[in-house]
């Protein structure tokens, strides 16, 4: 089942990348990043069968960082929405000269 798991993980990561590149809604882009993190977690778990349970320790670290990232990222999105009244990434061009 290892090859299948890694294939599924790569496919999910690809779908996440495509979502990040094609969507404009900042929240959906964030969710695509979460999907990519999940794909990496699947790789960790699959390979932990081969190399011991240390991989699962890293999955827990990834989950913690993902939770922190989601909290801060969504707070930033709320702040931007207060400022711009939009979460469309095209409207957020404050740094453009």
Partner 1 sequence: MQNEFLPLFYTFHFYLFGLIALVGAIVFVTRKSPVAAALWLVVVMFALAALYVMLDAQFVGMMQILVYAGAIMVVFLFVVMLLNLGHPSDLNDMRGKLGRLLAGLVGLALVAELMALTRSEVTMKLVVPPVENAATGTAGIIGPIAGPLFKEYLLAFELTSVLLLVAIIGAVVLAKKRSN
57 and 63 Cβ atoms separated by less than 8 Å: no
Q: Which residue has the tokens 């882009």?
A: 29
44 and 59 Cβ atoms separated by less than 8 Å: yes
Q: Give residues 7-26 in contact with partner 1 (rule: CB under 8 A).
A: 7-8, 10-19, 21-25
Min dist CB 97 to partner 1, Å, is 20
55 and 45 Cβ atoms separated by less than 8 Å: yes
62 and 37 Cβ atoms separated by less than 8 Å: yes
- Polymer length of the chain: 97
- Cα–Cα distance for residue pair 85/35, rounded to 1 Å: 26
83 binding partner 1? (CB under 8 A): no
Q: Give residues 31-70 in contact with partner 1 (rule: CB under 8 A).
A: 31-32, 34-35, 38, 41-42, 45-46, 48-50, 52-54, 56-57, 59-61, 63-70
75 binding partner 1? (CB under 8 A): yes
Residues that bind partner 1 (CB under 8 A): 1-8, 10-19, 21-25, 27-28, 30-32, 34-35, 38, 41-42, 45-46, 48-50, 52-54, 56-57, 59-61, 63-72, 74-79, 81-82, 87-88, 90
């Amino acid at each position: 089942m290892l090859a299948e798991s890694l294939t599924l993980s790569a496919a999910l990561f690809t779908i996440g990348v495509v979502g990040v590149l094609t969507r404009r809604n900042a929240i959906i882009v964030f969710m695509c990043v979460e999907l990519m993190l999940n794909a990496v977690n699947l790789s960790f778990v699959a390979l932990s069968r081969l190399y011991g349970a240390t991989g699962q320790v890293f999955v827990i670290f990834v989950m913690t960082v993902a939770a922190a990232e989601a909290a801060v990222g969504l707070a930033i999105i709320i702040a931007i929405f207060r400022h711009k009244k939009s979460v469309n990434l095209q409207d957020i061009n404050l740094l453009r000269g």
